[in-house]
Amino acid sequence: MNEDYTPTELLAYVAAGLLEDGKSVFVGTGLPMIAAMLAQRTHAPNLLIIFEAGGIGPQVPVLPISVGDSRTFYRAVAASSMHEVMSAGQAGYVDYGFLGAAQIDPYGNLNTTVIGEWDHPLVRLPGSGGANDIGSFCWRTIIVMRQDKRRFVEHLDFLTTPGYLDGPGARERAGLPAGSGPYRVITQLGLYDFDEDSKRMRLLATHPGVTVDDICANSAFELIIPDQVGTTEPPSPQVRRILREIDPTGMVIGK
């Protein structure tokens, strides 16, 4: 950890930078909330934040405890329902969606259901919730998760949420919207996208102090490593101040 910022602050800042002004984003509890709120308070004031419980377009004052917290409706353009916001995604109105995962494979497919055999699991996970809907119908999904060889795997133990399935054209063959799919992956080590041709995960940038060797040592599948790899920019003191205003109790950012 750099003495000037925490790993969580870095992840929130990198995630926020992916969100564009005038776009819509489906946000879950925790870090995705902070990233969306940070984007809205800095470079994307017209970002439309959508919460699973039905809040659409709020100006959230401080970090909510969950997507059902009353603050997710603060100054919102609509206080609707889960049915309404999921329908908006299915209708193609949601640009970005945030997801987490226990496992991810080279094509951005996600597992949040079970580790091990379905009938005799080592770990039973929470399941899909809205993750399958978000990964299926939001135009671009941003995955935030921890990276190691148990999580970056060649083959998932269970497919909960579709990425690019088994490669180019597979989403479309499955009936999912053409042009949709995983957009970025953010871990404690780096930032990734997906190769346009093969649809496999590709390293874009390492975080400060992280090497390409560190990246490769923490993935059980072969990542695409381009000739030029960037380094993510750490959050400035001003950004850190805003993050502390968003999460004054340190619920996610920490003390």
**The amino acid at 8:** T
Compute the chain's Rg from CA coordinates.
Answer: 18
**The amino acid at 154:** E
| Closest by CA position to 161, among listed 123, 111, 94, 126 | 111
Residue for token pair 């609509």: 78
CB neighbours of 227 closer than 8 A, spacing ≥ 6?
A: none
HSE value, Cβ hemisphere, 13 Å, CA-based, for 8: 14
**The amino acid at 17:** G
Is 9 in the active site?
A: no
User: Are 101 and 125 a contacting pair, CB within 8 Å?
Assistant: no
Catalytic residue, chosen from 52, 84, 196, 222, is 52
User: Are 205 and 231 a contacting pair, CB within 8 Å?
Assistant: yes
| Closest by CA position to 50, among listed 28, 17, 74 | 28
Burial 78-104 (b: 16+ CB within 10 A, else e): eebeeeebbebbeeeebbbbbbbbbbb
Per-residue DSSP letter, 77: S
Q: What residues act catalytically?
A: 52
